[in-house]
Structure 1
Amino acid sequence: MEVEGKLHIVMVPWLAFGHMIPYLELAKCLARMGHRISFLSTPRNIDRLPTVPHDLRPRINLVKLTPPSIDGLPEDAQSTVDVPLDHLRFLEQLLDGLEGPLSSFLEGDPSPDWVIYDMGVYWAPRVAAKYGIPTVFFGPFSAMTLSIIGPPTVLMDPQPVTPEQLTVPPSWVPFPTNVAFPYYTAERLANYSKGRESGSGLTKGQRLGLTVQGSHVAAIRSCQEFEPEWIRLLGELYQKPVFPIGLLSPSIPEIDGKGHDPWVDYKWLDTQKHGSTVYVAFGSELQFSKEQVHELAVGLELSELPFFWAYRGDPSLLPLGFEERTKGRGFVRLGWAPQARLLAHTSIGCFFMHGGWGSSVEGLAFGKPLIMLPMIIDQGLIMRVMVGKKVGVEVPRNERDGSFTWEGVAKSLKLVMGEDEGGPIRSNAREMMKIFANKERDNQYIKDFVDYLIKHKVPDPSA
């Protein structure tokens, strides 16, 4: 029996940890308010999620949906970290194969009050409609990114977009802006958006267009204090309520249930001076070439700055002798690293990263200026915004092919960590903590969102 005034919400994120983690953060926020969450994904993804705090476990049900076998996809490949970017079509097929399991889950009693679903889960609204359940599209993006990509009418247009079209602000943006895709990401995005290989017969744009179109409400990982004009525009483009639900900024993770504190592996940072060290992390999905890894490593080495590199790539790609030459000044951590704890450390002075929205939120929540090397999707857009707000810099690039050099890497590091130009950038990043680390304000955003969900849920006919 449901508690009066409390909701049962089903969540279906896209198969990427950059989406599953903010979905889980939202689930925890909702659970703290007393609502019940069913968080649905594949078995391997559920097993790899961060530990849910003990006090919230009774209200967060992690549900494993059995995926189909997909030709061309290894059996244990169930998220974007498991496949190269050119194999994402196989993950889309895997995701689409969860439509039946979701339908079976929604048949349960009592019926959920809302389904919150992610980009590409375009079939969730039609499944929920069978059971009379309203839906929310929650894109863990900035309002700027979703506005630039465009309304459903644009996304549904089968006419392919060109890279040149993506490198200028779109016509539906009514205010002056220089935010547009750099050519080196625009070309890849244009080719990606044309693809129909997932088996659905839809382009990537059409999948997203149907995702937005089918929802009753949209929610975004953002706030009025950071991008009010873009939030207002997105509501006009979507022609439906759009709720900013705050930035879901990270909390320092707890020690895991086995009693092991992962921080014991990072005591090296405690020996470094306050604000002296560059934290380097490009996530788990980017796959750098050997040449790119060499440019990054040599740039770090010749910057002569202390650095902590959370390296998720192939260790054999690192330059021969790199770790030995930088021993004592640099630390290379292979595999997973507790990013929030690292960014919170007083010795970390800046964050060298890809410019993704989730990483940008984490960095600015701890007041760290950003050194950005955008590679895919909306990273170039976010980089332009952050450079415009003077909280970070872009590593110099070849605008056509996106290539970069160790000289550009070292120069960018020295600029941000130096006293002259770097001082104001670091100061601006610390000032951004007032927005990105404001948990009280974020909780109010979520409360306003939940109030709407309670008011507009479908009444229980048996009540």
Structure 2
Amino acid sequence: MADAKQLHIAMFPWLAFGHMIPYFELAKRIAQKGHKISFISTSRNIQRLPKIPPNLSSQISFVSLTLPRQDNLPQDAEATNDLPLDKIPYLKIAYDNLQDSLAEFLQKSTPDWIIHDLIPYWLPPIAAKFGISSVFFSIVQALTLCFCGSSSTALINGEDPRTKPEDFTVPPKWVPFDTRVAFRLHEAKKFFDHYEMNDSGVTDIFRLGSVMAGSNVIAVKSCMEIESEWINLLGELFGKPVLPVGLLPPTANDSRDGKEDNIWLTINEWLGKQKSRTVIYVAFGSELNLSQNELTELALGLELSGLPFFWALRNRDGFEERVKGRGVVWTSWAPQLRILAHESVGAFLTHCGPLVMLPFFIDQGLIARVFADKKVGIEIPRNEEDGAYTMKSVAEALRLVIVEDEGRIYREKAKELRLLIADEELHDQYVYKFVEFLQNYRQVSDK
């Protein structure tokens, strides 16, 4: 589509770094195709995002909106990781109050498209009023959206036949193919909260249903190689084009003000002293705050495994001294892609694999089930009721995938998944097809 016009695309993610970072990765990939991006967030969040790569500085602009003051929100709290869980509904209220300033920007700049998140249920009508097409870009996979409800109307009107957490521990009746993917009871209890009214005055499920109904297109951070049946089902359930944009692995040129190389030299020196494929890399991102008990059992489990590990952990708990020499507890930013690519790293212990999986958030349990079925990882066993795990269960799972013969199949399958995740050409094709769709859609609708 060399003759297709350049697009101007606005992007408006929810105020969580687990959302903003994938949106920023997608923005960079769209900009690389020659299109203009207006990336909209609040001033403090923009300051904390990675810098725009120099080669894309003419294509991407940050648009800073002032987050309205909100009772019950601490000063300078502009993202979910600035807050305890019970305060996040008040952040949603402040975010909802951005609609006037966002509408003003959209009216003045008239982008061709706006790509937005699930929280701004009020956004699709505003975009339509100004003749702007909208994409709901989901950072969770298609299978999670299929689990949420059978249609936009059902989500908006609260017409879900499931009335208690136990109902979410089996696949929904509207899934027409055989699957064992479902929530554990402790996960279902947390997931059920999204159907309940919160202090923002709107349920999360109503928000989701409204953006699914009002947007022109649904995009998902996923690929057909992992969940083709779910992607196809999502389109059937919600009657919209559903486009996977690939897995959006972080690009290597993430700027850290020149500190990255010095940090990497220190880490690489330690990794280089370890045996091939023996190190466990542990990371749960910046959004997760483990309880003291969860942290202790995980730490003791790592120690009990007897295996070397590198743990990217933001809060110190005195564990560093105890494991000196065999394990590293790293309390600042770490170059994740470089660490995972090192030959000494044999397993990744994270929310949902590959190899060792300990899910905590909304969709991670479902993804962990999918990966377990594909034999690319095992879940650390947990109590079905409350999700508790022990140091023994942590240690046994780690030793199985790194040391034991019966873990060989997981190691081999995980290599295949790593190749898929690292396939830049494949993921680039997904973005290319996504952008091509947006261009064709505009051209058709302009006629």
TM tier relative to shorter chain? over 0.9
Determine if the alignment matches structure 1 residue 194 to structure 2 residue 191: no
| CA deviation profile, 1:271-329 (whole Å, cap 9, x unmatched) | 2222110011112222222111110111011110000011123x24x5xxx32231111
Q: Match of 1:364?
A: none
Three-state SS of the structure 2 residue aligned to 1:297 is helix
- Structure 1 residues 4, 388: closer, same or farther in 2, change over 3 A? closer
Q: 1:371 aligns with which of 356, 365, 387?
A: 356
Deviates more, 1:380-389 or 1:186-195: 186-195
Distance 1:164 1:157 in 2: 21
Identical amino acids, percent of aligned pairs: 50
SS in structure 2 opposite 1:136? Answer: strand
TM-score normalised by L of structure 1: 0.91
Q: C-alpha distance in 1, partners of 2:377/2:157?
A: 35
Correspondence 1:389 to 2:364: no
CA pair 58-387 structure 1, distance change in 2 beyond 3 A:
same
Distance (whole Å) between structure 2 residues aligned to residue 14 and residue 81 of structure 1: 12
Q: CA offsets per residue over residues 40-62 of structure 1, 9 Å max, x none?
A: 01111111111221101110001
Give me the whole-angstrom Cα distance separating, in 1, the residues matched to 2:76 and 2:334: 22
| Contact 1:113 1:458 survives alignment (8 Å) | no
- Aligned counterpart, 2:59: 59
Equivalent runs, 1:49-448 vs 2, <5 Å:
49-109=49-109, 111-150=110-149, 151-158=151-158, 161-198=163-200, 201-254=201-254, 256-258=256-258, 261=261, 262-266=263-267, 267-313=269-315, 315-316=316-317, 318=318, 322-355=319-352, 360=353, 369-448=354-433
Instruction: Assess, with a 3 A threshold, how the Cα gap between structure 1 residues 52 and 393 changes in structure 2: closer, same or farther.
Output: same
Partner residue, 1:43: 43
Give the Cα–Cα distance (whole angstroms) in 1 for the partners of residues 338 and 347 of structure 2: 14
AA matched with 1:40 = I
* Partner Cα distance (1:44, 1:340) in 2: 26
> CA 1:282 to 1:127, structure 2 compared with 1: closer, same or farther past 3 Å?
same
Q: For structure 1, which segment, 31-40 or 223-232, has the greater mean C-alpha deviation from structure 2 after superposition?
A: 223-232
Q: What is the CA–CA distance in structure 2 between the aligned matches of 1:292 and 1:448, rounded to whole Å?
A: 42
CA contact (8 A) 2:43 2:66 kept: yes
**Alpha-carbon offset, residue 255 of structure 1:** 5.2
Q: 1:139, 1:165 → 2: CA distance? A: 24
Across the two proteins, how many residue pairs are aligned to each other? 440
Give ranges in structure 2 of 5+ residues lacking alignment: none
Native 8 Å contact 1:226 1:435 kept in 2: no
- Name the CA distance, whole Å, in 1 between partners of 2:103 and 2:401: 51
Query: Could you tell me how far 1:83 is from its partner in structure 2?
Result: 1.0
TM-score for both structures, normalised by structure 2 = 0.94
User: Structure 2: which amino acid aligns with 1:169?
Assistant: P
Taking a change above 3 Å as real, the CA distance of residues 44 and 175 of structure 1, as seen in their structure-2 partners, is same
Corresponding residue SS for 2:287 = coil
Question: Is this contact kept in 1: 2:118–2:138, CA < 8 A?
Answer: yes
Q: CA deviation at 1:156?
A: 1.8
Please give the alpha-carbon distance, in whole angstroms, between the structure 1 residues aligned to 2:406 and 2:172. Answer: 32
1:457 aligns with 442
Moved beyond 3 Å, runs of 4+: 253-260, 458-461
Amino acid at match of 2:180: N
Q: What per-residue deviation string (whole Å, max 9, x for no partner) do you get for residues 356-384 of structure 1?
A: xxxx5xxxxxxxx3311112311111111
Distance in structure 2 (CA, Å) of the matches to 1:232 and 1:132: 28
Give 3-state SS (helix, strand or coil) of 2:405's partner: coil
| Aligned amino acid, residue 24 of structure 1 | F
Displacement of 1:196 in angstroms is 3.0
Answer whether contact 2:17 2:287 (CA < 8 A) is retained. Answer: no
Q: Report the CA distance between 1:195 and its aligned residue.
A: 2.4
CA contact (8 A) 1:142 1:220 kept: yes
Q: Evaluate the alpha carbon distance shift between residue 237 and residue 221 of structure 1 in structure 2; reply closer, same or farther with a 3 A threshold.
A: same
Q: Summarize deviations over 1:256-282 as a string: whole Å, max 9, x none.
A: 344652313423222222211001111
**1:333 to partner: Cα distance:** 0.6
The amino acid across from 2:438 in the alignment is: L
The 1:265–1:96 alpha-carbon spacing in structure 2 relative to 1, beyond 3 Å, is farther
Other structure's SS at 1:390 match:
coil
What is the identity, as a one-letter code, of the residue corresponding to 1:68? P
Runs of 5+ unmatched residues, structure 1: 361-368
Judging changes above 3 Å, is the alpha-carbon distance between structure 1 residues 152 and 418 closer, same or farther for their aligned structure 2 residues?
same
The answer (yes or no) to whether the contact 2:15–2:78 under 8 Å persists in 1 is yes
